[in-house]
Amino acid sequence: MLEACSSTAVAPGEAIRVVLDKREVCIARTEDGTVHAIDDLCTHGEVSLAEGEVSGCSIECWLHGSAFDLTSGQPLTPPAFEPVDVFVCEERDGSIFVDTTTSPEQ
């Protein structure tokens, strides 16, 4: 696991973009404080999901409105039909760590 950012870098209901191992990752924190890590690029328009809006357990792409489930990466609304990758992440000792080689299901 790689250290992605400090815990305070991502407020509840917000998301940020980080680069880990040359991979763009969106770190999102839901309103209940849960942290998620997904591929940052929308599969429809290839724009940063971190610039979108976190709502419940999803994030909406700011450009065309596709929403993605933060847990599974599945698209919830068109125009996106392809999921984004989801990564294992954990928060400990004041930092958020992400493993870009493993999805939570593995």
- Counted domains in the chain: 1
Does position 94 have pLDDT exceeding 70, yes or no?
yes
What are the residues whose beta carbons fall under 8 Å from the beta carbon of 26, sequence distance 6 or more?
15, 16, 17, 37, 38, 39, 40, 48, 49, 50, 59
Task: Give pLDDT, residue 17.
Answer: 98
Round the average pLDDT of the chain to a whole number and report it.
Answer: 95
pLDDT digits (tens, 9 = 90+) for 32-78: 999 999 999 999 988 999 999 999 999 999 999 999 999 999 999 99
CATH number of domain containing 56: 2.102.10.10
Kindly state the tokens that stand for 47. 């724009």
Does position 102 have pLDDT exceeding 80, yes or no?
no
**Domain assignment present for 32:** yes
**Domain assignment present for 12:** yes
Does position 104 have pLDDT exceeding 80, yes or no?
no
- Residue 91's H or E segment, with its range, is strand 86-92
Task: Give pLDDT, residue 105.
Answer: 66
Nearest to 79 by CA among 46, 51, 57: 46
